[in-house]
Amino acid sequence: MRGKSVLLIIGGGIAAYKSLELVRRLAERGVTTRAILTKAGAEFVTPLSVSAFTGEKIYSDLFSLTDEAQMGHIQLSRSADLVVVAPATADLMAKMANGLAGDLASTALLATDKPVLMAPAMNVRMWQSASVRRNRETLAKDGVLFVGPGNGEMACGEYGPGRMAEPLEIVAAIEQTLAVQGPLAGLRALVTAGPTREPVDPVRFLANHSSGKQGYAIADALARAGAETTLISGPVSLAAPQGVKLQRVTTAREMLAACEAALPADVLVMAAAVADWRPDFAANSKIKKSTDRVVPLIKLVENPDILATLSAHAARPKLVVGFAAETDDVVANAVAKRGRKGADWIIANDVSGDVMGGDRNRVHLVSEAGVEDWPEMTKNEVGARLAARIAQKLKGAA
């Protein structure tokens, strides 16, 4: 979301205090926020507080000659990428649903040509009233998006639906809404992540140290950029990124089958650390230690080469990106792997340290054009940079 801007309309309700946390969370993600503070909203949070968090002038008066000259309500309503109403009171919902424009907030809502996301907050009986329900249905038909409300205890002491969504929930909804406008909107992405486990018996398996962090970060970045993203993950403890379809698998053969079932896709990023071999036979019960201390012989057979298979698939994605986790001759091995596997790009990294479990990575992008050496950065930053390069390749986006 970095570089995006939001117009936040703060309605009059006790939940208005959450708007300050919302602004802070958006700022962490590089989003600029301008705010309209309604007269009722100013009864709960002060203009000074909102201005301190946004770092911007606060707008509240429709008939301010200065504001209208510098940033009129038409420009204010259209200069942002998204309009967010939090809290969205019954009054603001009613005004927008019925086209009323008697103050700056309602006028901006009527004049905007950008998506509108509302986070309703009101007493449970108000939320369940026929008029509010009717207004919400009208707004939904008009294309207004909603996040929440949730169930919870109200400031008035009642319990039920009407509690405004928490700031991070609203941030997630904003991210999902803005993704529709992203540089990869309309494209499908398939990502693999994590290790695979090859069973020896019901309690033992062959695997590796992959944490899945880099693959999950890439899937997250692609989804944020607007791609419809499917993530095929080996066994890790990470939660699915917002807006990503997650399918969990265990073995290399399961991963290949899941990838083939997920095709077609426009871009494939194979970040999983797939086991090259598996036991040719997995015992149905635990293999016991023998009394004569004879070590059981485990014969290994080669697993399917998922990257090579999908690179040559009839439904091959337009862009196939593989990973090369190396401990020696990192770039040279990656260059050889790109040609051998038939991939368009290979992302090479040195995993001789704590890279597999850590939060930082230093990679090299190997392509037909040559080698790009990226500086060390967080895995989230690697994901964002890779998503930007993919957008540049597939859509010509800067």
Residues annotated as catalytic are: 156
Please state the length of the chain. Answer: 398
Contact 99, 126 (CB under 8 A): no
Which 3-state string (H, E, C) describes the chain? Answer: CCCCEEEEEECCCHHHHHHHHHHHHHHHCCCEEEEEECCCHHHCCCHHHHHHHHCCCEECCCCCHHHHHHHCHHHHHHCCCEEEEEEECHHHHHHHHCCCCCCHHHHHHHHCCCCEEEEECCCHHHHCCHHHHHHHHHHHHCCCEECCCEEEECCCCCEEEEECCCHHHHHHHHHHHHHCCCCCCCCEEEEEECECCEEEECCEEECCCCCCHHHHHHHHHHHHCCCEEEEEECCCCCCCCCCCEEEECCCHHHHHHHHHHHCCCCEEEECCECCCEEECCCCCCCCCCCCCCCCCCCCEEECCCHHHHHHCCCCCCCEEEEEEEECCCHHHHHHHHHHHHCCCEEEEEECCCCCCCCCEECEEEEECCEEEECCCEEHHHHHHHHHHHHHHHHHCCC
Closest CA to 189 of 396, 391, 398, 397: 391
